[in-house]
Structure 1
Amino acid sequence: MIKKIIILLTVLLVLFIGGSTYYIVNSMKAVNPGAIDNDVDFTVNEGEFLYSVLAKLEEKDLLRNPWIYKIYNRTVRELNVKKGFYRLSSASTGLEILSVLEEGKQELLRLTIPEGMRASQIALLLEEKGITSSAAFMAAVNDSELMESLHIPADSAEGYLFPDTYYFQKDFPPQKVLEYMVATYFRNLDSIFPFYVDLSDEKLQEKLILASIIEKEYRVEEEAALIASVFNNRMKIGMPLQSCATVIYVITEEQGKEHPERIFFRDLEIPSAFNTYLNNDLPPAPISNPGITALSAAFNPAQTDYLFFVVKDSMLGTHTFTSNLADHNTARHSYIQGFRSK
């Protein structure tokens, strides 16, 4: 009788151990094995406890039965997850997911800044991507002490935020974001005009302001240097630049209005230091953050006698360049006639 009881207990123990082992192993498998394109964004906060992290992983269907990992943490080895932003997959096992959190290999957020964006627009894009807050970034942009440390000859980083594709961690320090963009600007400037270091701060800033206007004026890359030559020739004889891009800047940035579909004559008379229809000088600061084409044009303009340019084909973005007002008016009239006949 005792022998039968021992055998029965042994069988039950084996079944219990086997069942428990199966349950534990099955619980530690991937929640959704073989899944494709099911990445989940996941954040471990500063000072967050393991148990809280496990609960969040279960909520996001990234692992089953978090209590198993609590036992694992106590009996096998301690799990030390690191703060950060991660992209995890439910096709990974629980231990694979926890291994990622322990290694701290964070997911980087991709940010592409188009040419010609203003700092305020970049700030909104950064906040939208979850990289840093718009307000914090703009505070860094206008931090005069930070500008001095970065060798920027201005009180603002407007114009020095180079348009490119960047990769940042979530909640990245705004000052560091700005430093990366400014470093990229100077690296690209060195590639197109290595002698920029010999320029005075004033001349360097003038070139950047000019590039920021060219950026908003050209559409065909081959014309950027020609547009630069027009502006340079005008400045040499004290002629206003008369750039519509600066008027649009006044309307959108200074007046806070939406981008106009067209500019009226009354807009050309808006009093502002940025309005190059009213002022012979360059604007006091860049109106955009120019890319490599506009920068190259500003530092290496074409050598021409052009003083005017007008749209030739609005679809292609091409212009007609002329050296005198009579030819300019002819080209302008030709465009208007062609536009009306469409």
Structure 2
Amino acid sequence: MKKILIILLIFLLLIAGGALAAFCLVKNMASPVSAEDDGTKVRIEIPSGMSVNGAASLLAENQLIRNEKIFYYAARYPQLKGFLYGKEAGQSAFVLRSGIYYVSPAMNIAEIQELLSSGQQEYIKVSLPEGLTISKIAAELEENRICNAADFIKVCKSPDFAAKNNISGESAEGFLFPDTYFLTAGMEAQTVAQLMVDNFFAKIKEIPALAQMNSADLFQTVTLASIVEREYRVEDEAPLIASVFKNRLRRNIGLYSCATVEYILTEIEGRPHPDRILIEDTKIDNPYNTYKWAGLPPGPISNPGLVALRASADTPKTNYYFFQVVDPAAGRHVFTTNFEEHIESHSLYTKKSGK
């Protein structure tokens, strides 16, 4: 009997030893890859639709976990995390969310899974100044890895996209609000364009005269603002420039805007930005040529900011019909009421694409 008890005790000890060894093995496989946190972090991108197994493989490939199966079972059974890392670790289920994460090799599986459940994103700051065109915005987005330039241009120049957003024109030109955006790599072009258009309509609420306009009047005002945006350099002159254009429109006089000619050269004909508008350029037969045709062009020539939009919506009444650059470096103009005064210092200038 005594011999049987000894054998039974040895058997139980072997079982306990095996269980302890198994526990130690699992505990080791679930431990952080690095014992010390030296600040190293690895960028991990979890795309939409990735499985837990896929995430485990990605983490293992980047040497951030020791064992893919342990990661999977810890994700499926929170109790296992509680057993390995303490009661708190096993209280919540793991939900893998797409995003871009920075994972430390010193993190254990529970900490990694908590991070991957957060949906944290790596945002890319993109600052779009006033006065850019669709094509220039597209180039900025592609350079910052946000979306493909051609895709963005296609969306923004789609009449269907314009109609969807109650824009009276054939494209979203003029309605992509210049601002600082925090975006993510690989976004859908339509998502980015919609974000900018939504921002436009949110921002014009700051200008009651604009917010109350119907879509046709708003389109005309944005078209005017897009020209003002490309003509003014000093903020306090924007309303005066708008007044000149409105006075000329009322009398059916051509706007004579170099900015519209520049738009034809660079955006329609695809030429490099000119240092100077030539007389022969002002004779180009194109509806955007405000030297050749009276009235507003068919649509906006840039995407204006609040200064130009406000100047075009709340325009002061003046007797000015002309303005002329007098200080190209400072961007200052002289405003005159008749052609004789204007012709005395007449010269054609154009602004570089920043403004």
TM-score (ref. length: structure 2): 0.78
Kindly tell me: are residues 263 and 81 of structure 1, through their superposed partners in 2, closer, same or farther at Cα, counting changes over 3 Å? same
- 1:59, CA displacement in angstroms? 3.6
The one-character-per-residue Cα deviations of 1:293-324 (angstroms, maximum 9, x if unpaired) are: 01011111232222222222222222222222
Partner of 2:320: 306
- 1:331, CA displacement in angstroms? 4.1
| Structure-to-structure mapping, 1:38-77, within 5 angstroms | 38=41, 40=43, 42-46=45-49, 48-70=50-72, 72-73=74-75, 76=80
- Contact kept, 8 Å, 2:33 with 2:63, in 1: the verdict is no
| Structure-to-structure mapping, 1:1-342, within 5 angstroms | 16=21, 20=25, 23-24=28-29, 27-28=31-32, 33-35=37-39, 38=41, 40=43, 42-46=45-49, 48-70=50-72, 72-73=74-75, 76=80, 79-82=94-97, 84-90=98-104, 92-194=107-209, 196-197=211-212, 199-332=213-346
How many angstroms apart in 2 are the aligned matches of 1:116 and 1:301? 19
- 1:23, CA displacement in angstroms? 3.2
- Contact kept, 8 Å, 1:140 with 1:174, in 2: the verdict is yes
- 1:243, CA displacement in angstroms? 0.9
The one-character-per-residue Cα deviations of 1:246-267 (angstroms, maximum 9, x if unpaired) are: 1111111111112122222222
- 1:223, CA displacement in angstroms? 1.0
- Contact kept, 8 Å, 2:222 with 2:309, in 1: the verdict is yes
Partner of 1:340: none
Instruction: Read off the aligned partner of 2:329 and give its amino acid letter.
Output: M
The one-character-per-residue Cα deviations of 1:207-226 (angstroms, maximum 9, x if unpaired) are: 11110011111111111111
Kindly tell me: are residues 122 and 97 of structure 1, through their superposed partners in 2, closer, same or farther at Cα, counting changes over 3 Å? farther
- 1:234, CA displacement in angstroms? 1.7
- Contact kept, 8 Å, 2:161 with 2:171, in 1: the verdict is no
How many angstroms apart in 2 are the aligned matches of 1:45 and 1:187? 29
Identity value in percent? 35
How many angstroms apart in 1 are the aligned matches of 2:241 and 2:45? 48
SS at 2:204's partner residue?
helix
The one-character-per-residue Cα deviations of 1:180-236 (angstroms, maximum 9, x if unpaired) are: 322221222222134643x45433222111100111111111111111111112222
Instruction: Read off the aligned partner of 2:47 and give its amino acid letter.
Output: V
Instruction: Read off the aligned partner of 2:330 and give its amino acid letter.
Output: L
SS at 2:302's partner residue?
coil
TM-score (ref. length: structure 1): 0.81
How many angstroms apart in 2 are the aligned matches of 1:66 and 1:310? 70
Kindly tell me: are residues 94 and 123 of structure 1, through their superposed partners in 2, closer, same or farther at Cα, counting changes over 3 Å? farther
How many angstroms apart in 2 are the aligned matches of 1:94 and 1:121? 44
CA-based RMSD of the aligned residues comes to: 3.4
List runs of 5+ in structure 1 lacking aligned partners. Answer: 337-342
SS at 1:137's partner residue?
helix
Kindly tell me: are residues 71 and 250 of structure 1, through their superposed partners in 2, closer, same or farther at Cα, counting changes over 3 Å? same
SS at 2:117's partner residue?
helix
How many angstroms apart in 2 are the aligned matches of 1:187 and 1:298? 18
How many angstroms apart in 2 are the aligned matches of 1:281 and 1:29? 70
Kindly tell me: are residues 326 and 235 of structure 1, through their superposed partners in 2, closer, same or farther at Cα, counting changes over 3 Å? same
- Contact kept, 8 Å, 2:254 with 2:295, in 1: the verdict is yes
- Contact kept, 8 Å, 1:28 with 1:95, in 2: the verdict is no
Instruction: Read off the aligned partner of 2:130 and give its amino acid letter.
Output: E
Aligned residue-pair number: 328
- Contact kept, 8 Å, 2:229 with 2:308, in 1: the verdict is yes
